[in-house]
Amino acid sequence: MLKHVLMTHTVILSISTEIQQITGRIDDILISVSAVLMLVLWIPVALSFFGNDENRRVEAHVRLRNAIIGTFIYALALSGVVFTIFKYIAFGS
């Protein structure tokens, strides 16, 4: 009986370790996707500042502001703050 309990405990620990490894890989994938999204957002903004054209620089400042706001909203969404605010507004709790 004790041997069966120990084997069951070992199997449960093995499954738990596998689940932790899978969630770790999912985290890595999500972090990589987030990094690519931020890269796609910020590279055009940074490139807009190079050059002598004054209109292009003014446009770059507008894009910079939009990129900052977008990054802030994205960070709020990833942290769960947006969900919490929506839940508070929609359900009052």
The Cα–Cα gap between 11 and 17 comes to: 10
Task: Please give the tally of structural domains in the chain.
Answer: 1
Dihedral sign, Cα of residue 71, residue 76, residue 73, residue 58: negative
pTM for the full predicted model: 0.61
Question: In 3-state terms, what secondary structure has residue 81?
Answer: helix
Q: What is the pLDDT of residue 37?
A: 87
The Cα–Cα gap between 45 and 57 comes to: 10
| Each residue's pLDDT expressed in tens, for the chain with a length of 93 residues | 545 555 666 666 677 788 888 888 998 898 899 889 888 888 988 888 887 888 888 888 898 999 899 889 888 888 888 788 888 888 886
Q: Residue 34 is part of which domain span?
A: 2-91
Inter-helix orientation angle 54-79/2-48, to 10°:
160
